[in-house]
A and B are shown apart, each in its own frame.
Chain A
Amino acid sequence: MSAIAVDSLYKVFGKGARSAVAQLKSGTPRDQLTTKSVTAAVIDHNWSIEPGEIFVVMGLSGSGKSTLIRMLNGLIKPTSGTIRIGGVELGSLSNRELRRLRREKISMVFQHFALLPHRTVVENVAFGLEIKGLSKTERLERAREVVELVGLSGHEDKLPAQLSGGMKQRVGLARALAADTEILLMDEAFSALDPLIRQEMQDQLLDLQSKLGKTIVFITHDLNEAMRIGDRIAICDGEVKQLGTAEDLLMHPADEYVAEFTADVDRSRVLTAEAVMEPCGTRDTSAFPKVESDVPVNELYESVLSSKAPLLVVDDNSDPLGVVTPRSIIKSLSPDLAGDIEGERQPA
């Protein structure tokens, strides 16, 4: 069963929201709605997330991503459509049941940390457990473990005001992890941090994820961040423009909007050997140096230059898949030529 599934989900703010949804359903673009007093934030979302997946929702401000994430835990009610969390439809729950679902199944990390300024780090981390009704000793003990997990040992009894931005967000992350929910919603969680700290936090998140295997919905407006951490990425502008892996978005952008978005991405870090390889043809490949199919392009530069022969891309069973040459790498790094490589790959 999917961890989260949304089905023809719409959210329109303002008076006359329902008629606006009807118009949108019949195909009117959102800037041509006849009711001017409405804002269509989320339009016709249909997707599902599997347990253990990092699903990134990517969009500019005003693309409805914050609204979307708040609908997933029921803070905002959809105008139309359904959301299922582990098979349970949110619309069918009473407020009390909804609160229980949030306590037990979904936690959230906020852009500006949303910590309680008068509580120490452990007390903040223990907040979710406090709401769950754990005793003080129990919840503080659990909170200390999680504080250690996110690498804040030694800061347990400090106040948020004494921490740097990155450390504050670690507290925010720890608070969400301490609640021990299957689903983690992260609303622009790293957007308020400096670039270096942001990268550090992304690495830490991936590291934690490999241990904990949560289902994560991550909202961001930074495509590099999206590609770095997302298993799948949904590019949104009201509606979902494209949903796919980082490679899909780079190699087969669905439309101009997505192509423009992906133009600035560091392609060499996202694309793998498999994505940029050319077919082997009928050549004898036995003497070629081998390279795993999932190695990113930016780690191939040295070996491709030092070898006279092309690199042979192999899968897990060491079966050859294709070859990588300097030419194929250069082509793959330009968005305009990338499609060309597509054409060459097809017959193989």
Chain B
Amino acid sequence: MIEYLRNWFWTYIWKPLPDMPFGDWMESFVRWVRDAWSVFFDGTETFLESLYTGLTEALLFLPSGLMVLIFAGIAFATKGWKLAATVGVGMFIAAWTPYWDETMQTLSMVLVAAFFATVLAIPLGILASENRAVSTAMRPVLDFMQTLPGFVYLLPVVMFYGIGVVPGIIATIVFCMPPGVRLTELGLRQVDREVVEAGQAFGASPAAILARIKLPLALPTVMAGLNQVIMLALSMVVIAGMVGGGGLGSVIVSALGRVEMAKGFNAGLAVVILAIFLDRVMQGLADRTPVAKAAAFAR
């Protein structure tokens, strides 16, 4: 009897549960989605890949010495000779590290990702500023996108796109978009009510009010948003090195793995120089918007 109970206990109660293949299920689901939507995934992959390669090749077409001068020229055009000097020295140092090619790859990834993030963020921001419901619905999503640690995005993207540059770019687009949406909405909402009313009183259509009054007046704020978009893109692009994103990210990840101080420092230096360049040039562009110039006149 006792023997029987013991058998029963060990057979039915204490028996370890079978291993459930949750992971396998997920994998086959992803595989299924991947196959069913293969046109979409392959299309975006080829598109982003070729865009990235093209831009990288363009950036690497000229010798680094000439590119340093070009970057300094851009800095001069947007802000002035002080920034031109800083950028010139900085970029010269970056060209001096063994990682000039990787620096240009990273810049190329940032530009591609920030471009698409902007193209998505500005219309969403406009929509949110015109429509309370959209704004309310979008807020938690944006909060979520912004608070999630960057590399969490890498996982689902890698599932669909595998390892490489494209998943890095896509994760970056998602990660860096929120401030673009938020600041576009904020800028548009902050436009003086009376000025908008003036547009209405003179019979302007909503589209004309948006194009001729709201957007020009909101532009400095929108530009501040784009600056943040680019900065976030840079930080994410480095993290994307973990999934074979290439560029400085890969250098840093491999330096991390082997604890190679010198390599990591070289790559880190190049990232900082890129960040300074992008941030200041964006600031310079924001100061050049008509409204910002007019405000400078008032002072």
Q: Which residues of chain A have a CB within 8 Å of any CB of chain B?
A: 70, 73, 75, 99-104, 106-108, 110-112, 114-119, 127-128, 130-132, 159-162, 175, 179, 185
B127 to chain A minimum Cβ distance, whole angstroms, is 20
B213 CB-CB contact with A under 8 Å: yes
| From A100, A110, A114, contact of B203 by CB (8 A) | A100
Q: 18 A-B contacts, Cβ less than 8 Å apart?
A: A73-B201, A101-B203, A102-B201, A104-B203, A106-B201, A107-B201, A110-B194, A114-B195, A116-B195, A116-B216, A118-B216, A118-B289, A118-B290, A119-B290, A159-B297, A161-B294, A161-B297, A161-B298
CB pair B217–A117 under 8 Å, yes or no, is yes
CB pair B201–A108 under 8 Å, yes or no, is yes
| B205 nearest CB neighbor, chain A only | A99
The number of residue pairs between A and B whose CB atoms lie closer than 8 Å in the complex comes to: 74
B209 to chain A minimum Cβ distance, whole angstroms, is 9
B49 to chain A minimum Cβ distance, whole angstroms, is 40
Contacts of A117 in B (CB 8 A): 217, 291, 294-295
B259 to chain A minimum Cβ distance, whole angstroms, is 54
Q: A108-B202, A159-B297, A179-B202 are in contact. List 4 more A-B contacts (CB 8 A).
A: A108-B201, A118-B290, A118-B291, A162-B297
CB pair A128–B202 under 8 Å, yes or no, is yes
A115 to chain B minimum Cβ distance, whole angstroms, is 7
CB pair B198–A110 under 8 Å, yes or no, is yes
Contacts of A159 in B (CB 8 A): 294, 297
A93–B217 Cα gap in the complex (Å)? 31
Would you give the 0/1 interface string for B200-218, flagging 1 where the beta carbon is closer than 8 Å to chain A? Answer: 1111110010001100110
B interface size (C-beta, 8 A): 25
Contacts of B200 in A (CB 8 A): 75, 102
Question: Which residues between 244 and 299 of chain B lie within 8 Å of chain A, taking CB atoms?
Answer: 289-291, 293-295, 297-298
Most chain A beta carbons < 10 A, residue from B198, B204, B208: B198
Most chain B beta carbons < 10 A, residue from A110, A111, A117: A117
B27 CB-CB contact with A under 8 Å: no
| B202 nearest CB neighbor, chain A only | A128
A112–B203 Cα gap in the complex (Å)? 19
A115–B217 Cα gap in the complex (Å)? 11
A291–B278 Cα gap in the complex (Å)? 79
Contacts of B290 in A (CB 8 A): 118-119
Most chain A beta carbons < 10 A, residue from B192, B198, B201, B294: B201
A100–B205 Cα gap in the complex (Å)? 10
| B200 nearest CB neighbor, chain A only | A75
A161–B198 Cα gap in the complex (Å)? 18
Question: Which residues between 171 and 212 of chain B lie within 8 Å of chain A, taking CB atoms?
Answer: 192, 194-195, 197-205, 208, 212
